[in-house]
Amino acid sequence: MDKKQAAKLTALCCLVYFASYITRLDYAAVLVEIVQDLQIAKTTASIAVTGSFITYGAGMLIFGVLGDRITPRAMITIGLIGTSAINLCMGLLPNIYVMIAIWCFNGFFQAMLWPPVTRTLTENLGESAAREAIAKVIQAAQIATLGIYILSPLAIRLASWRAVFLGAAVIGFVAVALWYPSTANIRQSRPAPAQDQPQAPAVERAPVGRLVMAAGLIPMMIAIVLMGMLRDGLQTWMPTYVCEVFGLSTETSILLTSLLPVLSMLAIAVSTRLFRTNGDETVTASILFGLSTVCAAVMAVIFPGPATLGVLLFALLAGSMHGVNQMIICFTPTRFEAYGRVSTFSGLLNCFVYVGAAISTYGFAGFSEAFGWRSTMVLWTVLAVLGTAFCLICIPKWRAFYQGKAKV
């Protein structure tokens, strides 16, 4: 691809993931309002988020593998249509329990988006350029997060929380209308080797399990579960935390949560700079996990502390997890392009994120209700320490793998 084509493809993938985050995070953004408006328990309301995380994780396993076998264009189109239709239903259906059941299936359609995006960028741009493009796609997701947390309070004030879902559905359908006709000529599969080039080495056909062991991904997968617990658990419950601890209105609590994507974008920029310095995803992830440990520990010590400092530390803790996500979820799959496994490993690693997310969304709600927010912050500190440790364990074997020194 020339620069103009590459920029167009990157912009389209940014649009896809922008719409993905809008249609995925809107429930979490208005969760505190749903709880108060309908007078239901936090644990009851969290079932929808937990269910969607479970289906997202399962879908990542399925569509990650399928994403290396069927056209990314078709999979992304189906995913966008499905998640937009579910958001439309959320804005129109009257029964909250039916809505909760339907939202659980949103994860399946969301899982059809990220693996083919990474595959499309890697195969069309190459490994190095794909990382730069992926960083832009992640930033687009954070802009979507910022938008949903800024506009949701306005929608609640002018209409109701249901208007948030209707607006998200419109954005999703617009993304479909722009994506599908604009991607007719992109590469849909790995290019065949030229006739004067040697055949691909046998290592390209190495089974997934053998690649997992050669790259030392087992401790990385554990770190991913911990990152998912912190990233998505904190993002889901930040408005509720601000509302309960500092006594602010639901609209103000949701609006303050917009600080989270701002610091997430900063964390992503920092992680990108760190990666350019050391060239290793696990080293960068270890540093960011260490930062999150400090934030969680300070929050526990000063609790509740000033509202400004508490919200800032909360957002910095969650934001640093987005930097970790960029490294070990978004960048590491590009290392498997030579094996034709970019989508497979994108889906596999992402699955473990949402194992952690499913645990934390329901678990943090129950834990905070049973033991209080300070004890929950101590739990976050322990999780961050463990994440740091498992990332450090990964470093030697992962480095040997991407340097071509590991036996596959």
**Residue 279 domain flag:** yes
Domain-embedded: residue 378: yes
Residue 251 confidence class, pLDDT cut points 50, 70, 90:
confident
User: Does residue 194 belong to any structural domain of this protein?
Assistant: no
* φ, ψ (nearest 5 deg) of residue 160: -165, 175
For the chain, what is the domain count? 1
Structural domain contains residue 195: no
pLDDT of residue 58: 87
In a domain, 199, yes or no: no
Residue 191 lies in a domain: no
pLDDT (tens digit, 9 = 90+) per residue, 97-123?
888 889 988 999 999 998 889 888 988
63, part of any domain: yes
CA 222 and chain centroid, separation: 16
> Domain range spanning residue 227?
3-185+207-402
306-360 confidence digits (pLDDT tens): 878 888 888 888 889 989 998 998 889 888 888 888 888 888 898 898 788 878 8
Is 408 within the bounds of a domain?
no
H or E segment to which residue 323 belongs: helix 307-325
User: CATH number for the domain including 52?
Assistant: 1.20.1250.20
Helical (H) or strand (E) element with 215: helix 208-215
Residues in CB range of 372: below 8 A, 6 or more apart: none
For the chain, what percentages of helix, strand and coil (3-state, to nearest 5) are there? 85, 0, 15
Model pTM?
A: 0.74
